[in-house]
Amino acid sequence: MSELTTARDDTPGRRRATVVVSGVASDAHTWNLVFLELLLSELGFDVANLGACVPDELLVRECLERRPDLLVLSSVNGHGHIDGARAARALRDRSALAALPVVIGGKLGVAGSLTAAQRDELLAAGCDAVYEDSVDAITAFRSFLSALPSRAFR
Ligand code: B12
């Protein structure tokens, strides 16, 4: 956890990295979002949790207004690879959000693990990382986060 201490940095003139956590348009599940909000808050990030069933247009608008350092998409209903790819394309269509780090995770397909093609589509649509449910998912996600503060505080 020590590598993430810069996210907690309260030095005057420096800000904490901000993260938007969001469900995708079709997904009504909320505890996944609560889990991510608590995890990120404990790691020292400022978190805005947009909740479940967030339409793409609202997601884009919130990101344009909040200008977060990271967007974390979560879905567990099995349709995340479709919703997530569409949302990522909508975000990347806006030049102001072209460089926003975007990750997605959860139970993203209805048949267990995604196929390589489904995963590639998420990456091609603009997701920087895809975390499917596995014992390593949160560890891998935390490694990604540990690289964020250097970008966020540049
Ligand atoms: C509670 C629940 C519901 C509740 C949700 C209430 C609420 N307020 O959230 C209700 C009853 C509403 C519901 C509805 C449905 N559900 Co439901 N639900 C569950 C259940 C039992 C628990 C989910 C939960 O809260 N888990 C606790 C949270 C903390 O954990 P989590 O969601 O697993 O998230 C973890 C990981 O996925 C991961 N993670 C998630 N997002 C991200 C993102 C990143 C970046 C990272 C790194 C990690 C990560 O981290 C989390 C913590 O480990 C699961 C089964 C199960 N045991 O998981 C089914 C389950 C998710 N539901 C399922 C389904 C199919 C549905 C429905 C479609 C059912 C229906 N036919 O109506 C609807 C969905 C409607 C919709 N529009 O989305 C399926 C999804 C299957 C799939 N993915 O292929 C599941 C897996 C049950 C099953 N085995 O079939 N559900």
Say how many Å lie between the CA of residue 25 and the centre of ligand 1: 14
Does 54 sit in the ligand 1 pocket, CB within 6 Å? no
142 within some domain: no
Q: Is 49 in the pocket of ligand 1 (CB under 6 A)?
A: no
Reported as a pLDDT band with limits 50, 70 and 90, residue 93 is very high
In this structure, is residue 99 part of a structural domain?
A: yes
Query: Is the distance from the beta carbon of residue 39 to the nearest atom of ligand 1 less than 6 Å?
Result: no
19 neighbors 71 (Cβ within 8 angstroms): yes
- Say what the pLDDT of residue 154 is: 37
Structural domain for 84, as ranges: 14-29+42-134
- Helices vs strands, H then E, count in the chain: 6, 5
What is the pLDDT at residue 101?
A: 97
Pocket of ligand 1 contains residue 83 by CB under 6 Å: no
28 CB less than 6 Å from ligand 1?
yes
Q: How far is CA 47 from CA 4, 34, 70, 136, in A?
A: 15, 11, 10, 23
The total domain count for the chain is 1
Cβ within 8 Å of residue 7, ≥6 positions away: 16, 17, 43, 44, 45, 145, 148, 149, 152
- 109 pLDDT above the threshold of 80: yes
134 Cα: distance to centroid of ligand 1 (angstroms) = 14
CA distance 15 to 5: 13
| Structure confidence at residue 141 as a pLDDT band (50, 70, 90) | very high
Give pLDDT tens digits for 33-64.
999 999 999 999 999 999 999 999 999 999 99
Rounded average pLDDT over 72-84: 98
Residue 147 falls inside a structural domain: no
Instruction: Give domain status of residue 114, yes or no.
Output: yes
**Tokens found for residue 102:** 């975007």
Whether 154 is covered by a domain: the verdict is no
90: CATH = 3.40.50.280
Give pLDDT, residue 15. Answer: 74
User: Is residue 47 assigned to a domain?
Assistant: yes
Residue 37 included in any domain = no
Task: Say yes or no to pLDDT of 149 above 80.
Answer: no
Q: Which of 150, 148, 153 has the alpha carbon at shortest distance from 11?
A: 153
Q: What percent of the chain has pLDDT over 90?
A: 84
Question: Is residue 5, in this structure, part of any structural domain at all?
Answer: no
The sheet with strand 102-106 has its strands ordered as 46-49, 18-23, 70-75, 102-106, 129-132
- CA-to-CA dists, residue 12 to 9, 19, 79, 103, 146, angstroms: 9, 20, 43, 29, 21
